[in-house]
């Protein structure tokens, strides 16, 4: 066992505090990673505060992890000591269900093993990336291209793949019109990636406060959803709507913005049900869908795509001591656009 420094939640109601945690010994197929940077995802906050159900404390979160390989197990072939690598939202899966065998382990029928607050295959609770080191099976470790700035790359491991996967699946590209709802951690990556894919991108957000950013990230247009006229102006317009908002939206109004065979896909996760009228789907043969992160192969494809197109998340680098303040700022949408923790300060 390796005892390492971390920042942990002691309970659902207390601030995160410095802590030490145990990492398992490096097994034959494991990689030991010295973590350099860890992104702060909204999911981290929901998890430690018990919003998504009870968890075991103390709990270390963080599933946007980048660092260097410092040790490899005897059978490891994909990664070598010194490699720049990343870990995202999952660290294992059953590897034998239909979806795993199809290379879609993010949709493992037995549930993939989440990077934190999940029961690992050895029965321990997984601990995430607000930590100096992590041990992960080589099959769930990504190669991180050095072309992407080291201190900015971490959010691609969750926000990047979560938006890349639906854009790739529904074929955003030249000649397609894509709307991105919400311009936060997920939304700003969706805009950059969709624009790089060649799609015509429109940002839909409540106000036009972030208009200059939306255009700088590659959007052609930006409309305020607080303005009633927006929904009439944009009716029957989009091939794909990527909804990154985690609060319930009036779905019918958004679905009516889809043209023939258009799809609205949710990557935001509102806790409440959202009603919709099936008649809205009849018009233009519209679809409403969901999408959950991406497979390991697709995550590698996304990292290579971002390196090739010079895409990186917009980040604010913080020390570990600022994590609790950063949580409050995430909750009040006061971040442009993702916090990244310098783990040297743990
Ligand atoms: Zn996340
Ligand atoms: Zn499986």
pLDDT tens digit sequence for 302-321: 999 999 999 999 999 999 99
For residue 116, which ligand has an atom nearest its CA? 1
Structural contact between residues 34 and 57, judged by C-beta atoms closer than 8 angstroms:
no
- Tens of pLDDT, residue by residue over 85-104, are 999 999 999 999 999 999 99
For residue 108, which ligand has an atom nearest its CA? 2
Q: How is residue 271 annotated by DSSP? A: S
Distance 295 CA to ligand 1 centre (A): 14
User: What class, spelled out in words, does domain 2-158+294-345 have in CATH?
Assistant: alpha beta
**Interval 124-147 mean pLDDT:** 98
**pLDDT attached to residue 215:** 98
For residue 107, which ligand has an atom nearest its CA? 2
Say how far apart CA 245 and CA 260 lie, in whole Å: 24
Distance 158 CA to ligand 1 centre (A): 5
**pLDDT attached to residue 273:** 92
Residue ranges in 198-258 assigned as alpha helix (H): 211-216, 229-233, 251-255
Kindly list the domain boundaries of the chain, sorted by start residue. Answer: 2-158+294-345, 159-290
**Interval 179-204 mean pLDDT:** 98
Distance 97 CA to ligand 2 centre (A): 4
Distance 95 CA to ligand 1 centre (A): 22
Q: 159-290 in CATH: which number?
A: 3.40.50.720
Q: Is the dihedral of CA 171, 219, 270, 37 positive or negative?
A: positive
* Protein residues near ligand 2, an ion, with CB under 5 A: 93-94, 97, 100, 108
For residue 43, which ligand has an atom nearest its CA? 1
Q: How far is CA 154 from its chain centroid?
A: 10
**Interval 122-141 mean pLDDT:** 97
**pLDDT attached to residue 58:** 97
Distance 232 CA to ligand 1 centre (A): 33
- Tens of pLDDT, residue by residue over 195-227, are 999 999 999 999 999 999 999 999 999 999 999
CA dihedral 341, 120, 299, 222 (to 10 degrees): -60
Distance 119 CA to ligand 2 centre (A): 15
Distance 30 CA to ligand 1 centre (A): 23
pLDDT level of residue 271 (50, 70, 90 thresholds): confident
What letters, b where the CB count within 10 A reaches 16 and e where it falls short, cover 238-265?
A: bbbbbbbbbeebebeebbbbbbeebbbb
Mean pLDDT over the full length of the chain? 97
């Amino acid at each position: 066992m390796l005892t390492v420094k971390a920042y942990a939640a002691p309970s659902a109601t207390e601030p995160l505090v410095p802590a030490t945690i145990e990492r398992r010994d490096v097994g034959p197929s494991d990689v030991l990673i010295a973590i350099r940077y860890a992104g702060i995802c909204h999911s981290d906050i929901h998890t430690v505060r018990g919003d998504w159900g009870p968890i075991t404390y103390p709990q270390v979160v963080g599933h946007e992890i980048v660092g260097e390989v410092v040790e490899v197990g005897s059978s490891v072939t994909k990664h070598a000591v010194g490699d720049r690598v990343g870990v995202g939202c999952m660290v294992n899966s059953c590897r034998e269900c239909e979806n795993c065998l199809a290379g879609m382990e993010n949709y493992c029928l037995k549930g993939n093993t989440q990077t934190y607050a999940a029961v690992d295959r050895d029965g321990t609770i997984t601990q995430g990336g607000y930590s100096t080191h992590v041990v992960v099976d080589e099959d769930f470790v990504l190669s991180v291209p050095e072309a992407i700035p080291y201190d900015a790359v971490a959010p691609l491991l969750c926000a990047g793949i979560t938006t890349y996967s639906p854009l790739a699946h529904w074929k955003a590209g030249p000649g397609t019109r894509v709307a991105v709802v919400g311009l936060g951690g997920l939304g700003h990556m969706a805009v950059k990636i969709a624009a790089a894919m060649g799609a015509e991108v429109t940002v839909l957000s409540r106000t036009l406060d972030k208009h200059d950013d939306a255009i700088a990230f590659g959007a052609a247009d930006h409309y305020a959803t607080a303005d009633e006229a927006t929904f009439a102006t944009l009716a029957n317009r989009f091939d794909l709507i990527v909804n990154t908002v985690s609060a319930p939206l009036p779905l019918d109004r958004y679905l009516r913005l889809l043209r023939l065979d258009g799809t609205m896909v949710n990557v935001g996760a509102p806790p409440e049900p959202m009603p919709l009228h099936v008649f809205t789907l009849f018009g233009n043969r519209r679809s409403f869908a969901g999408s959950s992160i991406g497979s390991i192969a697709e995550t590698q494809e996304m990292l290579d795509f971002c390196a090739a197109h010079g895409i990186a998340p917009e980040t604010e680098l913080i020390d570990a001591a600022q994590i609790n303040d950063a949580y409050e700022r995430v909750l009040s949408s006061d971040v442009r656009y993702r916090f990244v923790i310098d783990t040297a300060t743990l």
